[in-house]
Chain A
Amino acid sequence: MQAKPKTADEQAATLEMTSTADSVERFVLAGDWRNRGISQVLNDLMAAEQKQGQGKLEIDASSIEAVDTSGAWLIRRLINGKQAEGRDVELIGASKTLSDLVDVLPEGGLKRPSADKDQRTLFQRIFEPAGKAVWSLGQDALAGLHILGSAVGGAQLKGGRGAGVSPASVVTHIDRMGVRAVPIIVLMSFLIGAIIAQQGAFQLRYFGAELFVVDLVGILQLREIGVLLTAIMIAGRSGSAITAEIGSMKMREEIDALTVIGLNPVGVLVFPRLVALTIALPLLTIIANFSALYGAAIVTFIYSGITFQTFLSRLHEAVDYSSVASGMIKAPFMALAIGIVSAVEGMKVGGSAESLGTHVTASVVKSIFVVILMDALFAIFYSAIDF
């Protein structure tokens, strides 16, 4: 518990129950009845409120040193409660501030919001979220298709000037999502290639087939790992950015402004990002592949003494056109999936900062999931067509 400011220099609020000579009940209030002084008096006050009594009640406030609305409210509540019991309550010795304050506070008790009780049965409480989740999944898919369709439709709602793709915007986004991601992609892929090569070399050494580590790294990287890890990195890096950008624009009614001006928000905001991602992700994948193979070559040279020349000639034999193509084909599809998922999540952002956080999280989680799912589907498809 955090330390509260001490009120040592101020006398805490007190309440004493006495009665006067002519047996009129009297509550004597004293001390600091401001918000930091009242916590000690609450128990006494509750006892005073619950105490049964009859006849006239005097509340002596002459010893109160200071008061604010919190203290005045406690006094008001006491008066309200006693008056409701049908007693004659008089506040005596109150300063002008206190009596003014007590007077302006509500006499008949507080207005509280009407409580909305949860009327649902247990059955509904269990199955309603499940139903909602299924329904929203369908809505998400629909929204994704809508975004894809609108994006292809272009920026203009009213079919004004041409397709409405702004090259400047696309180039900016390629710079932000592609070019600036190069360093991290290069570093990550270099390490991944090196790690696979090292583990592969150690395991293959048992069979005396160390040279085949080149096949292992080459095929694994070009077919699967290169595009998959690059897409995951871009989903985390750019997917979250797309959701946050579109979401905060939604929060500040900028999306509504675009619609009113006659532009299609999806066309203006989402389409350039989709195009940029679709161009950037394959290019990043190529860079990632080069970097990973370079990392693998260095590691195999250090651990297994395979020279660059041997590495390259072995790679030439192991890897053919289909290995490279099967990896690269996946890249634009994954880029589209990341772009659409993050745009759908961005459009769902509501009014609060919390909802922005929720949807950015959902965007990253969903796009990574979709990317991995697509990779699996492609793997099945390739094996079916023997590619």
Chain B
Amino acid sequence: MTTEAPAAPGAHDAQRRFDGMIAADERIEPRDWMPDGYRRTLIRQIAQHAHSEIIGMQPEGNWITRAPSLKRKAVLIAKVQDEAGHGLYLYSAAETLGVSREELLDLLHEGRQRYSSIFNYPTLTWADVGAIGWLVDGAAITNQVPLCRCSYGPYARAMVRICKEESFHQRQGFDSLYVLARGTGAQRRMAQDAVDRWYWPSLMMFGPPDAESAHSEQSMAWNIKRFTNDELRQRFVDIIVPQAEALGLTLPDPDIAWNAERGHYDFGTPDWDEFKQVLKGGGPCNRQRLEHRRRAHADGAWVREAARAHAAKRAARDTAGEAA
């Protein structure tokens, strides 16, 4: 799947040059030599990110047809469309590393590459759409803003564009929850219930605690990752606690308290057993999300085949036309 690094005599120099660029915090571009491990790590991470965008279309797409106002319906369609667009840029960024979108989709469909586990939770009420915008997009932005400075150029540039759109989604989610929290009793209960269900999974989006994170150290050394999982999780909690107060909703975490000494909010420990369980495929929607993806892909096979066949016929006709 990956292009092997040349083992030629120049390889040593190439490694030195790469190390120098990383040390100087320069951008690595597709034409530059890079170690296999760096390439593999990026392919894995960018693909997982792309897969998360397209799987993430499902839980929210689930509410498009039922959105309770035309304005919210328009906002939601635009958001799901943006996610498809993000998927496109990210697959393109991965393609610069020598792997095709088709290969990556096959790996997703075969369950050999992952997507963000958060999307294995169901969206049960309309308020879930707002809670996802506020908490899930909020966590995603916290994770992604540092990736705009990632050492791999195409990924960093894709992230700049994505972060702009994500922050718009996050504001819309907050706005939607704000209206619900000030609405009827039923709307308020719906909003609180959604926050209760999405809070802990959103904290898990930053990955396991630093001590147990398999890839963190090397990714930090390569300037792919700039902050540790726990640092980012803390940053996120510090952002959402005052936002929850502004919403008038409570976060389902009795350990949240301002710690003046640290200058941060203390917070509870997510249920890492649940995290592992969902990661292993035991979440409420793992099977459903992957089956939906596989079905859409399989249902579209004849369409993609027709497009290829038509393009080939057209090219043959053009060639025949030129020859005549």
Interaction A to B: no
A-side interface residues toward B, CB under 8 Å?
none
